[in-house]
Structure 1
């Protein structure tokens, strides 16, 4: 858990000449212990002003102890989060769990083939499809931009309350939109919603060059703002193994194999899984039920 002073030091190290560093108050509590505003408050205050702090005192007001869950988050967009969430759901359902999928908001949604529909099917089609993702937009761009293109807005209150229909289940698999620090609305990031729900994060990255840096950066940033990282899954979003001879050290297959080994060496405390292209199961198997945490009561 990082204190504000440690975050201040890391930010100052990255400031160039003439750039204004964050104005951290010495009375600022440890970032991991902030209760009623964004875990990113010091940084957001620097960038946007204190009036843009994310309010974490809101919804849902119902008991959130009725289910446990995990939060699937990517290092970026298009890294295979939905495929990983589906694999997790299938494994949990096969083990006899009553599971629900929840995606707070989605863009690029078209009838007949969408992430919410695939998640719903992977969970065994419980409840209503509309409850999986209560806010959908057509344009395949950031949710806030997609909403604006339709003359609508992202309802930040609904991002939290939308999980309520799933609370009676055993386990909820929440899939964010974009990367862990991507905005879901004008005043909320995936990281804030994961914190608000009190859920451990599963970091997903695509099996391509740069995965070590992207994954380590996301894990480090998540921990710095007080989130628990439960596991890492590397998703083969394209069939990299068949593109070039695997015996070449610069082939996609060799790069991915070396990167996985490197991640396991650097993060031995975390389970790290692999989801092959169009595969149904994550290897090696991870006990997702043991990693889930009860949703935080408001």
Structure 2
């Protein structure tokens, strides 16, 4: 099933390092430019120390959104469960994350929830995933899938969409997390494939988008996500 952007928008990826954080920032900037109020929540942030900004800091810097929150931060750049085990940390449960998201949803037009890694990476000690978290918001949420541009992306994207559909979760659409300035023949073919799918292709983020000054990022981001 497909769905328009909803109150709670989960941002997941076909893999790690596909552009979820930049997409979250661009989506926050675009929705804000359209007059909506936006909060961002990341249940688990790994690979960051106490003084590091991490993904949430990057979203705040690029989008200009100040309502950016996280559930837990962990030092090792691993899955949340593995990183928590290494430092003896207790991961918040999905119910704790859901409660925080509900509080934010009462005060903001949209809450963007950025996952860690892909859709089925475990977020708590009970094996709960971002897909399980999305299932706690029936009728109020949709999931945006960030995908790669290059070889292998078609399979990874279809697997992620199949996992969402199999759980009855609404799909907001796809975003290509990094579009090269000069796409290869393979990438152009992949883009045509995405555009022919029965889910919306919301847009493309240009490569090195993070190098833009925040003011420029916020000004041009709505032009990347033309499918909103």
- The interval holding the TM-score normalised by the smaller chain is 0.7 to 0.9
Give the Å deviation of 1:164.
4.2
Q: Distance in 1 between matches of 2:60 and 2:133?
A: 21
Task: Please name the residue that 1:148 is paired with.
Answer: 85
Give the Å deviation of 1:191.
0.7
How many positions carry a matched residue from both structures?
207
TM-score by length of 2: 0.82
Q: Which has the larger radius of gyration?
A: 1
Q: Which of the pair is proportionally richer in strand?
A: 2
Structure 2: unaligned runs, 5 residues or longer = 210-216
Q: State the SS of the aligned residue for 1:71.
A: strand
Task: Please name the residue that 2:175 is paired with.
Answer: 233
Indicate whether 1:90 and 2:29 are aligned: yes
TM-score by length of 1: 0.64
Alignment check: 8 A CA contact 2:149 2:191 kept: no
Q: Distance in 2 between matches of 1:228 and 1:164?
A: 18
Aligned pairs for 1:1-298 (under 5 A) are: 68-110=7-49, 111-127=51-67, 132-156=69-93, 157-167=95-105, 168-187=107-126, 188-198=128-138, 199-236=141-178, 240-241=180-181, 253-265=184-196, 267-279=197-209, 280=217, 281=221, 283=224, 285-287=226-228
Give the Å deviation of 1:196.
1.0
- After superposition, what is the alpha-carbon deviation per residue over 1:90-144, rounded to whole angstroms, capped at 9, x for unaligned? 11111221110011111112324310112234453434x5xx1021111110101
Q: State the SS of the aligned residue for 1:105.
A: strand
Q: Distance in 2 between matches of 1:135 and 1:271?
A: 31
Instruction: Call closer, same or farther: CA 1:257–1:97 in 2, change over 3 Å.
Output: same
Q: Distance in 1 between matches of 2:96 and 2:72?
A: 8
Instruction: Call closer, same or farther: CA 1:170–1:144 in 2, change over 3 Å.
Output: same
Q: Distance in 1 between matches of 2:63 and 2:199?
A: 29
Cα RMSD (Å) of the superposition?
Answer: 2.1
